[in-house]
Amino acid sequence: MGDMPGPYVVRGSVSLPEAELMWRFSRSSGPGGQHVNTSDSQVELRFDLARTEALPPVWKERALERLAGRLVGGVLVVRASEHRSQWRNRETAAVRMAGLLAEATAPPPRTRRPTRIPRGINERRLREKKQRSETKRGRSARDWS
Protein backbone atom coordinates (compact mmCIF):
# COMPACT_ATOMS: atom_id res chain seq x y z
CA MET A 1 0.00 0.00 0.00
CA GLY A 2 1.22 3.51 -0.86
CA ASP A 3 0.87 6.72 1.09
CA MET A 4 -2.43 8.44 1.68
CA PRO A 5 -3.53 10.41 -1.37
CA GLY A 6 -2.74 14.11 -1.43
CA PRO A 7 -4.11 16.88 0.71
CA TYR A 8 -7.84 16.93 1.35
CA VAL A 9 -9.08 20.26 0.06
CA VAL A 10 -11.59 22.07 2.24
CA ARG A 11 -12.23 24.89 -0.22
CA GLY A 12 -10.09 26.92 -2.59
CA SER A 13 -6.43 26.69 -1.66
CA VAL A 14 -7.14 25.62 1.93
CA SER A 15 -6.63 21.95 2.74
CA LEU A 16 -6.38 19.74 5.83
CA PRO A 17 -2.76 19.61 7.01
CA GLU A 18 -1.64 15.97 7.35
CA ALA A 19 0.39 16.89 10.46
CA GLU A 20 -2.71 18.07 12.34
CA LEU A 21 -4.79 14.95 11.63
CA MET A 22 -4.81 12.40 14.45
CA TRP A 23 -5.74 8.86 13.42
CA ARG A 24 -6.95 6.05 15.67
CA PHE A 25 -7.80 2.53 14.58
CA SER A 26 -9.95 -0.07 16.27
CA ARG A 27 -11.83 -3.23 15.47
CA SER A 28 -14.93 -2.62 13.48
CA SER A 29 -18.28 -4.33 13.87
CA GLY A 30 -19.98 -5.70 10.79
CA PRO A 31 -18.86 -7.93 7.93
CA GLY A 32 -15.38 -9.31 7.57
CA GLY A 33 -15.38 -13.06 8.22
CA GLN A 34 -12.40 -14.59 10.02
CA HIS A 35 -10.28 -11.56 9.24
CA VAL A 36 -12.53 -9.24 11.27
CA ASN A 37 -11.17 -10.28 14.67
CA THR A 38 -7.57 -9.48 13.83
CA SER A 39 -7.71 -6.24 11.88
CA ASP A 40 -8.31 -2.71 13.10
CA SER A 41 -10.42 -1.50 10.21
CA GLN A 42 -12.54 1.14 11.99
CA VAL A 43 -11.01 4.58 11.66
CA GLU A 44 -11.40 7.57 13.96
CA LEU A 45 -10.04 10.83 12.63
CA ARG A 46 -9.52 13.79 14.96
CA PHE A 47 -8.83 17.39 13.98
CA ASP A 48 -8.16 20.06 16.59
CA LEU A 49 -10.28 22.86 15.20
CA ALA A 50 -9.71 25.18 18.15
CA ARG A 51 -5.90 25.15 17.83
CA THR A 52 -5.38 24.82 14.08
CA GLU A 53 -3.56 27.47 12.08
CA ALA A 54 -4.50 25.92 8.74
CA LEU A 55 -7.81 27.76 8.42
CA PRO A 56 -8.17 31.52 8.00
CA PRO A 57 -9.36 33.12 11.30
CA VAL A 58 -12.78 34.03 9.87
CA TRP A 59 -13.38 30.46 8.68
CA LYS A 60 -12.16 29.04 11.97
CA GLU A 61 -14.55 31.24 13.94
CA ARG A 62 -17.43 30.30 11.67
CA ALA A 63 -16.64 26.56 11.91
CA LEU A 64 -16.29 26.65 15.70
CA GLU A 65 -19.69 28.33 15.94
CA ARG A 66 -21.49 26.02 13.49
CA LEU A 67 -19.94 22.76 14.68
CA ALA A 68 -20.22 23.60 18.40
CA GLY A 69 -22.54 20.63 19.01
CA ARG A 70 -20.10 18.16 17.44
CA LEU A 71 -16.91 19.37 19.07
CA VAL A 72 -15.39 17.72 22.11
CA GLY A 73 -12.96 20.18 23.70
CA GLY A 74 -12.47 21.99 20.39
CA VAL A 75 -11.70 18.72 18.56
CA LEU A 76 -13.78 17.47 15.63
CA VAL A 77 -14.09 13.67 15.48
CA VAL A 78 -15.18 11.62 12.46
CA ARG A 79 -15.56 7.83 12.45
CA ALA A 80 -15.72 5.50 9.47
CA SER A 81 -16.29 1.75 9.49
CA GLU A 82 -18.38 1.10 6.37
CA HIS A 83 -15.61 -0.67 4.48
CA ARG A 84 -13.75 -3.85 5.30
CA SER A 85 -10.38 -2.28 4.58
CA GLN A 86 -8.75 0.25 6.87
CA TRP A 87 -7.40 2.04 3.82
CA ARG A 88 -10.85 2.76 2.40
CA ASN A 89 -12.16 3.78 5.82
CA ARG A 90 -9.29 6.26 6.13
CA GLU A 91 -10.24 7.69 2.75
CA THR A 92 -13.90 7.95 3.75
CA ALA A 93 -13.12 9.61 7.10
CA ALA A 94 -10.78 12.19 5.56
CA VAL A 95 -13.22 13.06 2.76
CA ARG A 96 -16.06 13.34 5.29
CA MET A 97 -13.96 15.59 7.53
CA ALA A 98 -13.06 17.87 4.60
CA GLY A 99 -16.75 18.00 3.59
CA LEU A 100 -17.85 18.90 7.11
CA LEU A 101 -15.31 21.71 7.32
CA ALA A 102 -16.21 22.98 3.84
CA GLU A 103 -19.86 23.18 4.84
CA ALA A 104 -19.10 24.79 8.22
CA THR A 105 -16.79 27.45 6.77
CA ALA A 106 -19.04 28.41 3.85
CA PRO A 107 -20.05 32.07 3.87
CA PRO A 108 -23.60 32.75 5.04
CA PRO A 109 -26.17 33.05 2.24
CA ARG A 110 -26.91 36.56 1.00
CA THR A 111 -29.87 38.19 2.68
CA ARG A 112 -33.01 38.45 0.60
CA ARG A 113 -33.93 41.95 -0.38
CA PRO A 114 -37.70 42.25 -0.44
CA THR A 115 -39.05 43.49 -3.75
CA ARG A 116 -42.09 45.70 -4.20
CA ILE A 117 -45.11 44.48 -6.09
CA PRO A 118 -45.68 46.76 -9.10
CA ARG A 119 -48.72 49.00 -8.75
CA GLY A 120 -50.23 47.78 -12.03
CA ILE A 121 -50.28 44.17 -10.87
CA ASN A 122 -51.90 45.10 -7.58
CA GLU A 123 -54.55 47.19 -9.32
CA ARG A 124 -55.30 44.39 -11.79
CA ARG A 125 -55.71 41.92 -8.90
CA LEU A 126 -58.16 44.23 -7.12
CA ARG A 127 -60.07 44.85 -10.38
CA GLU A 128 -60.42 41.10 -11.03
CA LYS A 129 -61.46 40.56 -7.42
CA LYS A 130 -64.21 43.17 -7.72
CA GLN A 131 -65.40 41.63 -11.00
CA ARG A 132 -65.53 38.16 -9.45
CA SER A 133 -67.54 39.48 -6.50
CA GLU A 134 -70.01 41.14 -8.91
CA THR A 135 -70.42 37.85 -10.80
CA LYS A 136 -71.15 36.00 -7.57
CA ARG A 137 -73.49 38.67 -6.36
CA GLY A 138 -75.45 38.40 -9.60
CA ARG A 139 -76.01 34.69 -8.95
CA SER A 140 -77.98 35.19 -5.77
CA ALA A 141 -81.70 34.41 -6.21
CA ARG A 142 -82.77 37.35 -4.00
CA ASP A 143 -85.16 39.87 -5.42
CA TRP A 144 -83.72 43.29 -4.58
CA SER A 145 -86.81 45.34 -5.49
Which pLDDT tens digit goes with each residue over 122-142? 999 999 999 999 999 888 866
Short-list 29, 83, 73, CA closest to 47: 73
Q: Report whether pLDDT(143) > 70.
A: no
CB 41 within 8 A of CB 30: no
Cα distances from 143 to residues 135, 138, 139, 140, in angstroms, run 16, 11, 11, 9
Q: What mean pLDDT do residues 94-100 have?
A: 86
CA distance 20 to 18: 6
CA distance 62 to 71: 13
Residue ranges of the alpha helices (H) in the chain?
57-66, 86-105, 119-139
pLDDT in tens, 18-63: 777 778 887 766 666 666 566 777 888 888 877 877 778 888 888 8
